[in-house]
Structure 1
């Protein structure tokens, strides 16, 4: 199992790198098929965010869906512990779902990961018009500033594998997001699954055939 530790706007000390590797070595017990774990550390320089100035994002890559977790704290060691707790919980839930599926005799096709690690996705900040900054390759991302505004918009292109609503919600839970964009196999429509309250979810679909 490969563990890759990178820093975003910060340097990574060898001590932290070894600490992260030791902590994550046990992830394989919950996810035996894991091939690689990406650890991304981000430092926030804003003094108003001192309590959450260190963010750690963990991404587990295996043959099945990607599993992600992130957390922020006032130091990266604490953020790593918090993110690892979230990651382990998601891995346990994924294991429980697979167990229930096997007992029911149902096969659920795993969906390939669509979010590459941030260190592999170059982002370009520019003041050029947004129309000139459309990504053309999967995983490509560009950033542009809204004219006359401090707002920065990140534009990214992902590969979409058609799936059911149930699979989309599973994917959303695994990456820890509040929404998930997908193509519904039942309708062939671009759709978004989103979290409402507790274990309630919603789905919004686009009718691309309307005039």
Structure 2
């Protein structure tokens, strides 16, 4: 299993890198088929406090869906441990789903499936799925001070149920996917409790859009 540790706006020492490697045994135990784990540490300002914070994203690549977790703290070691705890919980969910799927003759409904998942705290995190991005860039928006992070999101067509499941695994409140049933670009998003919404994009030609 390859482990890639990267720092953004921060220099990472050998001690932290070794600490990350020492903790990867948990990933191998829960997901033995994992091929690569990406650990991204980002140093960024904390808008709620005067000091800065460290955000850690841990992404697990295997032959199934990509599983990701993130956490923030003013200490990168603490942020990493929090992210690892969340990742471990999501790896357990994925393992449980595989066991349930093999034992069932009838598929679960979306409500039954999502009802077993533990809801993450509310929020609207940016789409930072490093595992699904072939391009990542930050840049100013026109002449304004606004910065826009650009992502190229690649995905095979999937059902709405699969999109809900993958959204839970990466810990987001929304998920961009290609709907297998409608053959349209779509976004599923969390509303309240176990209520979800889905938006399908109807691509119009230039003449129709102008009219």
What's the counterpart of residue 144 of structure 1? Answer: 139
| Partner residue, 2:123 | none
Deviation at 1:141, TM superposition (A): 3.3
Structure 1 residue runs of 4 or more that deviate by more than 4 Å after TM superposition: 45-52
Q: What is the match of residue 84 of structure 1?
A: 84
The 1:103/1:13 distance shift into structure 2, 3 A limit, reads same
TM-score of the superposed pair, with normalisation by structure 2: 0.79
- How far has the Cα of 1:148 moved from its partner? 4.1
Residue equivalent to 2:190: 195
Q: CA deviation at 1:4?
A: 1.5
Q: Does 1:207 align with 2:202?
A: yes
Describe the superposition over 1:109-129 as per-residue Cα deviations: whole angstroms up to 9, x where unpaired: xxxxx94459xxxxxxxxxxx
Specify the alignment match of 1:59 in structure 2.
Answer: 59
Confirm or deny: 8 A CA contact 1:50 1:74 kept in the other structure: no
Aligned residue for 2:23, secondary structure, equals: helix
SS state at 2:69 partner: strand
Structure 1 length as normaliser, TM-score?
0.79
The total of aligned residue pairs comes to 187
3-state DSSP of counterpart to 1:194 = strand
Q: How well do the aligned residues superpose, as a CA RMSD in angstroms?
A: 2.5
Structure-2 separation of matches of 1:200 and 1:48: 30
- Unaligned runs of at least 5 residues, structure 1: 108-113, 119-137
- Offset, 1:58: 0.2
| Separation (CA, whole Å) in 1 of partners of 2:203 and 2:47 | 46
Tell me if structure 2 keeps the 8 A contact 1:54–1:76. Answer: yes
Is the contact between residue 51 and residue 73 of structure 1 (CA under 8 Å) also seen in structure 2? no
Q: Which residue pairs with 1:110 in the alignment?
A: none
Alignment of 1:128-143 (within 5 A): 139-143=134-138
1 CA distance for matches of 2:76 and 2:50? Answer: 12
Partners of 1:59 and 1:18 in 2: how far apart? 17
**Equivalent residues in 2 for 1:13-52, closer than 5 Å:** 13-45=13-45, 49=49
- CA distance in structure 2 between the partners assigned to 1:104 and 1:150 by the alignment: 53
Gaps of 5+ in 2: 108-127
Aligned residue among 151, 160, 169 for 2:155? 160
Shift, 1:177, TM fit:
1.0
Q: 1:71 to 1:52 in 2, by over 3 A?
A: farther
**Cα deviation 1:149-188 (Å, max 9, x = unaligned):** 2111122222231110000011111111111111111111
Work out whether residues 26 and 88 of structure 2, in 8 Å CA contact, stay in contact via their aligned partners in 1.
no
Q: Is the 8 A contact 1:8 1:41 kept in 2?
A: yes
